[in-house]
């Protein structure tokens, strides 16, 4: 038997699945919102109205930085995987 914890009267093991369900629900709702906005933008675009792109220097820097980090991580994990074989 585990000793009871005052901070978790229902037990930590019972709260973990609840947290997973709540997180999955939030992620599902966010995915539905992204799909809805994408379809809405496509429908408006097919009618001849092009969306305005807001590409500032900050946005471009963030994108370039993310691509750079992904390339570095890909190379690092590939080298790590081949050296561990």
Residues 42 and 10 in one domain: yes
Token output for 75: 């190379």
In angstroms and rounded to an integer, the radius of gyration of the C-alpha atoms of the chain is 23
Residue 40, pLDDT above cutoff 60: yes
Count of domains observed in the chain: 2
CA distance 12 to 50: 51
Range of 42's domain? 1-51
What band does 16 get if pLDDT is binned at 50, 70 and 90? confident
Residues 15 and 25 in one domain: yes
* Mean pLDDT computed over every residue of the chain: 86
Mean pLDDT of 1-22: 72
Whether the CB-CB separation of 51 and 45 falls below 8 Å is answered with: yes
Residues 70 and 42 in one domain: no
Residue 19, pLDDT above cutoff 90: no
Q: CB-based contacts of 8: which residues, under 8 Å, 6+ apart?
A: 15
- 49-67 pLDDT, tens per residue? 877 888 999 999 999 999 9
Residues 4 and 32 in one domain: yes
């Amino acid at each position: 038997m585990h000793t009871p914890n005052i901070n978790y009267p229902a037990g930590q093991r019972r709260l973990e699945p609840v947290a997973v369900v709540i997180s999955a629900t939030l992620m599902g709702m966010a995915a539905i919102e992204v799909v809805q906005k994408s379809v809405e933008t496509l429908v408006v675009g097919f009618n001849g109205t092009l969306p305005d792109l807001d590409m500032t220097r900050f946005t471009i820097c963030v994108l370039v930085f993310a691509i750079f980090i992904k390339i570095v991580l890909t190379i690092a994990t590939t080298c790590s995987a081949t050296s561990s074989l």
